[in-house]
Amino acid sequence: MRLLIDMDDVLADTGAKILDVFNQRNGLQLEKSFFEDKHFYEYIKGHNSYRDALYEPGFFRDIKVFPDAIDVVKELNEKFEVYIVSAATEFPLSLTEKMEWLDEHFPFISWRNRVFCGDKSIVHGDIMIDDHARNFENFSGRKILFHSMHNTQVQGYERVKSWREIRDLIGCAGKE
């Protein structure tokens, strides 16, 4: 069974770093929970943007790992064919930083099982865990939406809020 796992806002808490930059540039102190009943992208219109920070050297290198992600992915990697799939080519400087980040936090995921692309419709698998529903449009397998401040209003997908939930959903399943 092939399991496809996104990086940003699934393994890496990129949203927290984006929110830090957004808060700093706008003199705010918002927390992720602020967006539980708001559409993130609609709210940020009219504010100073964070987007240019995504193109700066170092942005992707020091993002925190979500709690339990390392242990659960390690367990899943022993049971499934795991691929880390990131639409990293939008931010060219992120490619090296994401490889280094994976080497540091997920060294048990081979470089052969890391896919950096622009459009995830090129990948195929049995399960995809992602924070952007757009990546599910052409995916025929099981779709699991990882909860993030930018997708709180998205409905129609199986949703998880933590790596413990992922372990409970698919971690106990055997290799097929």
The 10s digit of each residue's pLDDT in 24-63 is 999 999 999 999 999 999 999 989 999 999 999 999 999 9
Average pLDDT estimate for 61-90? 97
Cα 48 from Cα 23, distance rounded (Å):
9
Nearest residue to 86 via CA among 76, 74, 95: 95
Q: How many CA atoms lie within 13 A of 38 on its CB side?
A: 12
Q: What is the pLDDT of residue 31?
A: 96
Residues 6, 9, 13, 130: which is the catalytic one? 6
pLDDT at 175 over 60: no
Q: Is the dihedral of CA 106, 107, 110, 111 positive or negative?
A: positive
3-state class (DSSP) for residue 74: helix
pLDDT at 80 over 90: yes
The secondary structure of residue 47, as a DSSP letter, is S
- What would the DSSP string read from start to end of 13-35? -HHHHHHHHHHHHHT----GGGG
9 among known catalytic residues? no
Dihedral of CA atoms 63, 84, 147, 132 in degrees, nearest 10, equals 110
Residues facing residue 143 across a β-bridge: 128
At 3, the pLDDT band (50, 70, 90 cuts) reads: very high
Residues 8, 13, 130, 131: which is the catalytic one? 8
Residues facing residue 12 across a β-bridge: 8, 65
pLDDT at 172 over 70: no
8 among known catalytic residues? yes
Cα 64 from Cα 55, distance rounded (Å):
18
Q: Which structural domains are found in the chain, ordered by start?
A: 2-13+60-171 (3.40.50.1000)
